Structure 1
Amino acid sequence: MTHLPDRSETTGRCFGYGGLGPRDDDARRWVRDAIALLNRDAHRSADTHLIRLSLPALAGLEIYLKDESTHPTGSLKHRLARSLILYGLCNGHIGPRTTLVEASSGSTAVSEAYFARQLGLDFVAVMPRSTSASKIEAVARYGGRSHLVEHPAQVYDAARQIAAETGGYYLDQFTYAERATDWRSNNNIAESIYSQMAQEPYPVPCWIVMSAGTGGTSATLGRLIRYQGHDTRLCVVDPENSVFYDNYLSDDCALTGEHGSAIEGIGRPRVEPSFLPCVIDHMLKVPDAASVGAMMALSDHLFRRVGASTGTNFYGLCWIAAQMQARGETGAIVSVICDDGNRYGTSYYDAGWLADRGIAPEPYRDQIARFLDSGVWQPLG
């Protein structure tokens, strides 16, 4: 007799309808209304700014930053959170009484809490205890609760367990980020970048530079670059204690690390399912001190604070710009401001916090500042 797999063996069981079957008219109406609510929220929001940096010392190079900190929840993860919840709704996993659960280092959880509140759903964020206090507070302000674990690698199992205990749905950004986002359209950062670049001197960037947390954004960028036939190359920058760079070099998806990344929101101690090295053209690995130093130098230039993951991006962008300049190349480079630096006043912008962790950013801050002012890249070490 042929074995027909149970729904849970293939697409996952239908969650959280509180006794209503997924085909029940009341449940269908609730899901339809929930999707309409999310679409109205998106329609009320303008696109995020594309900032052009004025850098006369980098003659022939145009530098741009896509400012994702201007989303209603203050980070790049706003797009992802909306996509993940739409994915759960349209796949029949989220109903009117479903508890939403996520494993996160902070920003995704903040954005998901925002959307859960709009839908009237309970939300639980499973985060490392090291997550910045402002992110934990933001989850609470949106009506969610935080479950803190000691080590970043513990977030996955804890989130699954809470979802099972509550009869809820584990949103699982690390698995579904690359598939929940429609990389051809609909809330897509890559499409937005190319649309905003259309009237610039170099409409097609030579490089887009991005760090990876889930890997979903780099997957979206790399796929759209190929789908639309652009000559753009994608550089992904990885922080210390992340295994993405090593996976890119070795193709070993079983790699794990002993420590979590000190740069919130990016870098992982395991190779996440959404990380797709095959769509990446080049990777860099940078010290945490370089990420924080570049964060500070860019904040000085913008006259406002950005976060450390933006510093990782910007350090990679400056390295790419230096290589292009040395080869006499011209063109545009685009990267991303991931979130607002005011979230990190008690961490990356606190000298005592940095000293306790052995992070000394000043040499890298000076290196980036000199490069922006003079166009001269002076390697350290």
Structure 2
Amino acid sequence: MSIGRTSFRHNNSSLPRYRRGWVDGAVAAIEADQCRTADTHLIRLMVPALAGIDIYLKDESTHPTGSLKHRLARSLFLYALCNGQIHEGTPVVEASSGSTAVSEAYFAQMIGVPFYAVMPRTTSAEKIAAIGHYGGKCHLIDDGRALYSEAASLATRLNGHYMDQFTFAERATDWRGNNNIVESIFTQLKGEPRPVPDWIVMGAGTGGTSATIGRYLRYCQFPTQLCIADVEHSAFFDCFRYQDRSRTCERPSLIEGVGRPRCEPSFVPTVVDRMMKIPDAATIAAMNVLSRRLRRPVGGSTGTNFLALCRLASEMCSAGQAGSLVTLICDSGERYRQTYYKPEWLKARNIDPTPYEAELIRFLEAGHPPGFTIADVTNPLNARGAAGLR
């Protein structure tokens, strides 16, 4: 016996009371935005002192909302819409240190749903203003450790949807391709002297982008290795070093967008080949040095990435190896004029980037290996990380 259309029409009263047409329109609007958005630039940083080492910077600051998180926010909205979790009028709530919330506010405004960002009170004023610009509301809290629970609780109170980037980042993006960030990098490198990089360097916030990169490298069988640059106050590095997902860090990261108090569900250590833990002073130093070379300011997490890349480049130079390395410009430094670029802010937190800056400048201008050391560990499982963490 076949079931005809009339059977479904007869039972219409039992179906959820929302318009599928609205969801279709929301998905179409987000897809249209992607079609209007050109790919971000892959910049080659010219460093004559490092002969045979090609350095590339994927400039994610040129997205409409100004950061790498634009890609993630788009994927998270499409994931939630296509899973039936966001309908017409559904309030959307996110836990964020700022940049993801800015991008999600943009997409929420695009499809006409309310947006609420639960963030630490220390989030930069520029990011708070950007969220408001896109119609989002900021819910600021004093204890960053309560970020997750407060976001989930607010979503329940609003009868809304908690986007939960820290859980869903690694599954919302198609790591096999579909113009994800790493596929874009390899496409843009095709005409370069060394089109297959030795290393891709990435920071970890949710862990979703690093998961996408690591999976794609294996899927396409590239020999490229993935290095994660973690920050001073973060649980990711110890999670990787000790193969223990229960590791935590009580003190919040000073570098917005990277570093977490726990090993987030979206962080996949088994696809990471190496990790470095970068001191905050070294992050700020690398941010300053790179900003001067680019003649425009970059954000703090970009400094974290660049410091780790310079460490790898120094090792390659010392070993007489030629090759290429890629990292990301995560966002613009304009968002941090009142924090990382303000001497008074740094002094109040006992951060002195000067010694690190001097070493980095010597390296980039004369090829001398930097004289400082940083915590560093390679994948303790095997060359490609076959086993899982407990």
Q: TM-score range by the shorter chain?
A: over 0.9
Mapping of 1:97-246 within 5 angstroms?
97-246=89-238
1:181 touches 1:187 (CA, 8 Å); kept in 2? no
Query: Which of 347, 351, 361 is 2:343 aligned to?
Result: 351
Identify the range of structure 1 (320-329 vs 361-370) with the bigger mean alpha-carbon deviation.
Answer: 361-370
Structure 1 pair 114–187 and aligned structure 2 pair: CA distance change class (3 A): farther
Render the CA deviation track for 1:240-261: whole Å, top value 9, x for unaligned: 1101010001111111111110
Query: C-alpha distance in 2, partners of 1:373/1:290?
Result: 18
Query: C-alpha distance in 1, partners of 2:75/2:197?
Result: 26
Please state how far the C-alpha of 1:26 moved relative to its aligned partner: 5.3
Query: C-alpha distance in 1, partners of 2:14/2:25?
Result: 15
Query: C-alpha distance in 2, partners of 1:52/1:69?
Result: 16
Q: Secondary structure at the match of 1:62?
A: strand
Whether 2:317 is the aligned partner of 1:325: answer: yes
Identify the range of structure 1 (302-311 vs 187-196) with the bigger mean alpha-carbon deviation.
Answer: 187-196
What value does the CA root-mean-square deviation take over the aligned residues?
Answer: 1.3
Structure 1 pair 83–22 and aligned structure 2 pair: CA distance change class (3 A): farther
Please state how far the C-alpha of 1:370 moved relative to its aligned partner: 1.4
TM-score (structure 2 length as normaliser): 0.91
Q: Secondary structure at the match of 2:211?
A: helix
Give unmatched runs, 5+ long, in structure 2.
Answer: 1-11, 374-390
Please state how far the C-alpha of 1:185 moved relative to its aligned partner: 2.1
The residue number in structure 2 matching 1:12 is none
Please state how far the C-alpha of 1:368 moved relative to its aligned partner: 1.3
Query: C-alpha distance in 1, partners of 2:144/2:307?
Result: 25
Render the CA deviation track for 1:299-339: whole Å, top value 9, x for unaligned: 01000000010000000000000001111111100000000
Q: Secondary structure at the match of 1:346?
A: coil
Please state how far the C-alpha of 1:186 moved relative to its aligned partner: 2.8
Query: C-alpha distance in 1, partners of 2:180/2:359?
Result: 33
Give the total of aligned pairs: 362
Render the CA deviation track for 1:110-152: whole Å, top value 9, x for unaligned: 0000000001110000000110000001000100000011122
The residue number in structure 2 matching 1:361 is 353
Amino acid at match of 1:32: D
1:21 touches 1:27 (CA, 8 Å); kept in 2? no
Query: C-alpha distance in 2, partners of 1:21/1:56?
Result: 71
Q: What fraction of aligned residue pairs are identical, expressed as a percent?
A: 56
Render the CA deviation track for 1:242-288: whole Å, top value 9, x for unaligned: 01010001111111111110000000010100000000000000100
Query: C-alpha distance in 2, partners of 1:24/1:252?
Result: 42
Whether 2:313 is the aligned partner of 1:308: answer: no
Query: C-alpha distance in 1, partners of 2:15/2:214?
Result: 37
Please state how far the C-alpha of 1:24 moved relative to its aligned partner: 5.3
Please state how far the C-alpha of 1:23 moved relative to its aligned partner: 5.4
Query: Which of 266, 275, 289 is 1:283 aligned to?
Result: 275
Query: C-alpha distance in 1, partners of 2:15/2:125?
Result: 42
1:163 touches 1:169 (CA, 8 Å); kept in 2? yes
Structure 1 pair 379–168 and aligned structure 2 pair: CA distance change class (3 A): same
TM-score (structure 1 length as normaliser): 0.93
Structure 1 pair 273–21 and aligned structure 2 pair: CA distance change class (3 A): farther
Please state how far the C-alpha of 1:369 moved relative to its aligned partner: 1.5
Amino acid at match of 1:270: R
Query: C-alpha distance in 1, partners of 2:18/2:348?
Result: 55
Please state how far the C-alpha of 1:97 moved relative to its aligned partner: 1.1
